[in-house]
Structure formats: C-alpha cells, structure tokens
Structure 1
Amino acid sequence: MSILSIFHGRYTNALTATDDGRNVSNVSALYILGDSSVDCGDNTLFYPLLHSHLSVYSCNGSDATLLPQLIAEKIGLTSIRPFYGQKGSMEEVLGGLNFGSTQATIMNEGSNSHQSLNQQLRQVSETMQLLQLQLTEDTAIEFTKSSIFLVSFGKEDHIDFFLHNSTSQIFNQNFTTILVDQMTNAVRYLYDANARKIICLGILPLGCTPRIAWESTNHTSAGDDTGNGCVDKVNQLVFKYNRLLEEHVAKLNAEFSDAQMVFCDVYNGMMEIINNPRLYGKLLSPLS
C-alpha cells in the first residue's frame, strides 16, 4: 500500500524523473498543521531552550515514522523544521515548516500547552506575510501556490470527547458536524492565503488505541469490543467524521477549480492492517 494510494481527490504526481532516474519535486515546500499525528512533542514555545534536555523523542526531521515526514521524503523534501525550532533564517522558512503541536485541537483554545487550529492558521498567515516581505509579492504568491499544506486535526478533539462525554446519537452528530465545519473553514482560510495544494488527513481508528480499549473494559458505555480489540462505537464516530470531511473536501475541490484539495484516508488503511496483520509484518510471540 503506497503513500499516494490513500489520497482521494484530484492529485497530480509531485515528482518528475530526470534522465538519470532521480526524482525531482515540483513542490516548493511542505507546510504542516495538526496535532500529535504530525508532531511528536517538540514544537512548543520553549522548544529551542528545552529540546536538548527534556525532549523524550526527537522530531527534528530525521524521524521517518510520522506520515508528513514520509510524504516529505516521497516528494524530495528533506528537512521540515518545527515552527518554534527555527533559528531565524529564510532558508528554513523556504524549506517548509511544521506548525503542528501535540494535543492541539480544533475547538479548544483555552489551553496554553498547545497551539490550536486557529492559532496555527495565524502562524501560517504571518509566515506567508514574511515571505512577501523578503521576496517580491508575485514570487511569494507563486511559491505559496506551488507548496503543499497538510492539515491533520480532530484526533485530540475525539479523544477528549470519548473520555469526558456521553455518546448519545444526536450529540455525536452535532459534534462531528461542528468539527468538519471548522476544518472546512480552515481550508478556505488557507485558500485565501494563496494555498492551492491542500491535503486533509482523516483520523486513525481511535477505537483500536490502547487507552480507548482500556476505558471500554472499565466503562461499558464507551462501546463494544468488535473481537479485534477495537471499540466499535468509537470507530463508528471517527468513520463518520472522516466520511463527512471527505465529502466537504470534494465540494471545495469542485468549487475552487484552480486548486488541488485531497482527502487522505488513513482510517481504512490502518483497519486493513489491524484486520490482516500477517500480510503487513511479522507477528511476535507473546512473552512467556
């Protein structure tokens, strides 16, 4: 299963092959917005001061386990700096930035521990304005249009919802609609900032995560185990969010004919691996 096979929407291959077989990217830069799905904990206000002493897991561009890094490698971009890890050079901005922050949410802006969706959008706007100051306006606009903006939110909102709220059908639907509407507004905001290549990532099957599965065994209202260790009610809500977001992205893609907006379905890809683990890796024997 290739990285590009999970994208839905109009997609133009970002790579062209040279005569000697090397891949050359047609993308200027990759700018990433999101939560822990795109950041492993280093992108905080005090990143430059605390990173070398307190960081549990390095996230300086060498980590190849997060999907944005895999995409960056695929299109030939080698180093995406954390927003708060910049050292003030224009080369870093031109190389792409990761605005993502662990535990960032779509709706909640009350915490100082992470950057919300709206806060990250403001940081993107300020960065694009900086480009226009350093480059000519036309050059900056063309650079922005040829860059990819990857947006991955909703995971932390859903986790908070599952752990602290009821699961009534009406409230679930309202919750999903509110989140998707906010994501749709974010895509429109990026378009107005001259972004023309936008990827929206769906959410993984959170009902299969250890925390949610553990909560389910202790609180039966969280959902029923499906037999594969996953909580069905949780996965159903995540699936509805992904499907609605995909529909909205498709509508935006049709509305803005000069843009390429795609939805990345990580849910079904991960469920395929969970349900057929022997096809995708080696199963380890339980410890005796």
Structure 2
Amino acid sequence: MHHTGANAQGLVPALYVLGDSLVDVGNNNHLELSLVKADFPHNGIDYPGKKATGRFSNGYNFADFMAQNLGVPTSIPYLSLSPDSNNTDEYLAGVSFASGGAGVLNNTNSGKCISFDEQIDYFATVYGVLVQQLGAEKTLDHLSKSIFAVVIGSNELIKYAKSDPATSTSPEDFVASLVATLQDQLKRMYNTGARRFVFIGTGPVGCCPALRERNETKECNEVGNDVSTLYNRGVSSLLNEMKESEVDMSYSFFDTNKAVLQYISQPSNYGFQEVADACCGLGDMNAKIACLPISTYCSNRSDHIFWDYYHPTETTARMVTSVAFDGSAPFVYPINIKQLSI
C-alpha cells in the first residue's frame, strides 16, 4: 500500500477508535458535567512531561500502543476538534471517539460519557464531512484501508458482577442481549464505511482490584471472569457471522481475558510482581478509592498489572497490544492486527 504525506511509514492510512476508558485519550476532559475523568494526577505520571491527559493510566494506553505499532499518530479526541471548522485533514489522520464509562448500552453511565451509539453518530458526522470534501469514492477508499478499533463491554460486565445474583438475569441471557445490541452497532459502522475491525475483547474483569477487594479471600470474582469469557465468545462469533455476510469486511479479535489471565497466573514469567493490588488508590488493596490527587501510588509501576482499581498499567497495555498486533491464536484470531493492516 502506498501512502503519501505524514503517514508515509504507516501500515494503514489512519486508526479510528471507539470504546471506553481503556482507550479514551482525552474525550471526557471535554464533558463538563462528567465525573468520569482522569485529567489530574497521579494519572499520566509516566506520560511524557508527567502530564495527566485524560488517559486512565500512568502513561500510554491501548490506543497509543496500537497507533505506535501501526506507525500512525495517536488518534485525536473528537471533542477536542472544533465542530464548525473544516477538519478534513484531522479526520483523515484518525479520530478517537472513545469515552471513559461508555458501554454497549446507552444507559451505562448515561450523561457521564459519550455512549457507544453516540460515538457511532460522531463517526457518521466525520464520514459526512469527508464525503462533502473528497467525494464518496475517495472517502470510502480511505476508510476501507483504515483500521477501526473497538474496545467496549467492560463497564457492563463489572456492573453485572457487582449486582445481586438473585435479581439479575442469567449470564447467558445478559451476554446475549449485549451481543444483539452490538450487532446493530457494528453493522452501522460497516454501513458508514468501516471495513477492517479490530475488536479488543474484555479482560478478566473479576480480577480487577475493585472486584477482588469485595471478596473476603481477595481472589478474583468468578462471575466477572465467567461473563467476560461468555462475552468474548459471543463477540467473536458475531464478527465471524458479519464476515460471512459481508465479503469485504475483515477483522481481528483479541481475547484480552486469556492473555491477562496468563500474566496473573504466572506473573514472574512476564516480569510482574503485583497482580492483585492497584498501584494508585487508597484503602484495602488500593481499591477503595480511584486514583485521585489524594491517593498514594507505587514507585514500581512496571511490575504491577493494575494501575488503579479498574485499569491496567502502561506496561500491561503495552504487552497486551503487542500480542494483539503480531501474536496468534488462541489470543488473537483469525488474524492479528498486523495481518489485518496489510
């Protein structure tokens, strides 16, 4: 593939990102009424200039490492762009619509984030501007060569794991309803020009410090991990069905659950020492309170799996992304991100 301009080195023309806090690179900073934010210390303590950028991390996150691996710039937060100016160049360089707190369902953290449906609406707006400026053919050509990364679902799974088993639906029914909603959403992205999908599956949410801390034994929450396994299975078969009906669509699915459980069960093989406690927070396991300016944080961030009570450290995000980029089954399939970008 031949590229000109700034992306001469890139494997693809651009990376478009939709999802939740695992890939938010600053959209929530622009939501005045939201409390789901990370634009304050100690977030970003390992980011260049020790800057808190709105990433829920001590440094870079999945979105940054995906862009680095693809040789393209990190996608610009959509809400940081002025809506009334002609942003064609920015739009062509890749946009992030991801928002901390977002889920598959519109009522997940409603009013505190850009819901997944709204993110797809924003992408449709970008598509409209590009068609106006470049024409439909050039726009579709650009989008069909670009990568669309989706990271969504953890917020619902964590909420489900915390809910009272007596009043909640079965894990199977719960996941089936999420996947049914997701089917319409991914189809809408496809209808707006997305062709190459990277879906980063949910991790072992039951092992995040916030859910471990609720267990008397401090072990991982089994409901959380089981429902993550079910969800990843459901999303994977949904993508497979889409590919069968849309011949020009291709995808790479990464099973974050399998990969991170390996780190948790054999930490020393991967350079980790602390697999349970959060690095930044307060209280038992540093998991009672989010990473706030009043929280304490560990000095050895690179040997912790978790940065705060929900989110991975920069080290974990880097390792996971590199497996998604050029690893193989059972972690990433039917192809990896690198193969998808060729």
Scaled by the length of structure 1, the TM-score of the pair is 0.78
CA contact (8 A) 2:211 2:221 kept: yes
In structure 2, how many angstroms separate the alpha carbons of the residues matched to 1:253 and 1:262? 11
In structure 1, how many angstroms separate the alpha carbons of the residues matched to 2:197 and 2:58? 23
Aligned to 2:18: 33
Change over 3 Å in CA distance of 1:64–1:45 after alignment to 2: closer
1:161-172 aligned within 5 A: 161-166=160-165, 171-172=170-171
Aligned to 2:71: 76
Change over 3 Å in CA distance of 1:47–1:114 after alignment to 2: closer
1:1-288 aligned within 5 A: 24-39=9-24, 42-44=26-28, 46=30, 55-56=39-40, 57-59=52-54, 65-87=60-82, 88=85, 89-109=87-107, 111-166=110-165, 171-217=170-216, 229-283=219-273
Percent sequence identity over matched residues?
23
Report the Cα offset of residue 108 of structure 1. Answer: 3.1
CA contact (8 A) 1:47 1:85 kept: no
In structure 1, how many angstroms separate the alpha carbons of the residues matched to 2:171 and 2:119? 26
Counterpart secondary structure, 1:31:
strand
Aligned to 1:220: none
Report the Cα offset of residue 165 of structure 1. Answer: 3.7
Q: Which runs of 5+ in 1 are unaligned?
A: 1-14, 17-22, 218-224
Counterpart secondary structure, 2:215:
helix
Change over 3 Å in CA distance of 1:198–1:253 after alignment to 2: same
In structure 1, how many angstroms separate the alpha carbons of the residues matched to 2:149 and 2:230? 21
In structure 1, how many angstroms separate the alpha carbons of the residues matched to 2:270 and 2:171? 33
CA contact (8 A) 2:144 2:193 kept: yes
Report the Cα offset of residue 64 of structure 1. Answer: 6.0
Scaled by the length of structure 2, the TM-score of the pair is 0.67
Q: How many residues align?
A: 253
CA contact (8 A) 2:102 2:116 kept: yes
Q: Which has the higher contact order (CA 8 A, sep 6+)?
A: 1
In structure 1, how many angstroms separate the alpha carbons of the residues matched to 2:262 and 2:102? 27
1:5-24 deviation line (CA, Å, top 9, x unaligned): xxxxxxxxxx89xxxxxx93
Change over 3 Å in CA distance of 1:79–1:236 after alignment to 2: closer
Counterpart secondary structure, 1:111:
coil
Point out 4+ residue stretches in structure 1 off by more than 3 angstroms. Answer: 62-65, 167-170
1:139-159 deviation line (CA, Å, top 9, x unaligned): 111111111111111111112
Report the Cα offset of residue 47 of structure 1. Answer: 5.9
Report the Cα offset of residue 277 of structure 1. Answer: 0.5
Report the Cα offset of residue 133 of structure 1. Answer: 0.9
Report the Cα offset of residue 192 of structure 1. Answer: 0.8
